[in-house]
Amino acid sequence: MSAVLEHPVWLDEVTRRWQQVLADKTLADLPFKIETNRSGQLIMSPAKNIHGRLQVAVALLLETKLGGKAVNECSVATPEGVKVADVAWLSKKFFAKYGFRDPFAVAPEICVEIRSPSNSRGELLNKVRLYLDAGAREVWLVSEDGKVEFHDVNGPQPRSSFGVDVPPLL
């Protein structure tokens, strides 16, 4: 597992830029998921209804099976800007330590990305790496047909290490 620095050099700038994004009223009602890149520029992705349904299905599954808290559109600071996991799972211990910070300086234990037509496989695998490097124990990739891939620091895995059996999501 990658060592997570308590306060990496880039964290203050990434957090400052994200606070600006959150405060910008012109961005409040856009129908897009917003992230930032390494330069602090905004990246916007349109969402489809199936994407939203899969977010709900994953969040309910995580809370039901693991307890804790599931968060949709969870912001995580990375050296490549703020990335927004479609769903993240926070254990009680994680939540007690970090609450609902924006963005999280350490990734929640499980981060989930739901593939959109605009996502390339390379982009998704880069996010897997970023979340794992930021401290996630596991990253799930969900296809538009509801199939789930599990990844940890050792690469793709046949199942979740959290013992969660994932039924068909659709």
The predicted-structure confidence for 94-144, as pLDDT tens digits, reads as follows 999 999 999 999 999 999 999 988 889 999 999 999 999 999 999 999 999
The pLDDT assigned to 4 comes to 52
CATH number at residue 95: 3.90.1570.10
Report the number of distinct structural domains present in the chain: 1
The reply to whether 26 falls in a domain is yes
How does DSSP classify residue 162?
T
The reply to whether 166 falls in a domain is no
- 77: pLDDT strictly greater than 90: yes
The pLDDT assigned to 116 comes to 87
* Predicted confidence (pLDDT) per residue in 14-45, tens digit: 999 999 998 999 988 887 888 999 889 999 88
- 5: pLDDT strictly greater than 60: no
Angle, CA of 80, 22 and 47, to the nearest 5°: 75
Pairing of strands 138-142, 110-114: parallel
The least confident of 7-16, 62-71, 119-128 is 7-16
Q: How far apart are CA 71 and CA 36, in angstroms?
A: 19
- 1: pLDDT strictly greater than 50: no
The reply to whether 163 falls in a domain is no
Within 8 A by CB and 6+ apart from 17, the residues are 36, 40, 81, 82
The reply to whether 86 falls in a domain is yes
For residue 53, the enclosing domain spans: 11-157
- 2: pLDDT strictly greater than 70: no
The reply to whether 164 falls in a domain is no
The reply to whether 67 falls in a domain is yes
Kindly indicate the confidence band of residue 48, based on its pLDDT and cuts at 50, 70 and 90. Answer: confident
Q: How far apart are CA 75 and CA 115, in angstroms?
A: 17
The reply to whether 5 falls in a domain is no
Kindly indicate the confidence band of residue 46, based on its pLDDT and cuts at 50, 70 and 90. Answer: confident
Q: How far apart are CA 47 and CA 157, in angstroms?
A: 27
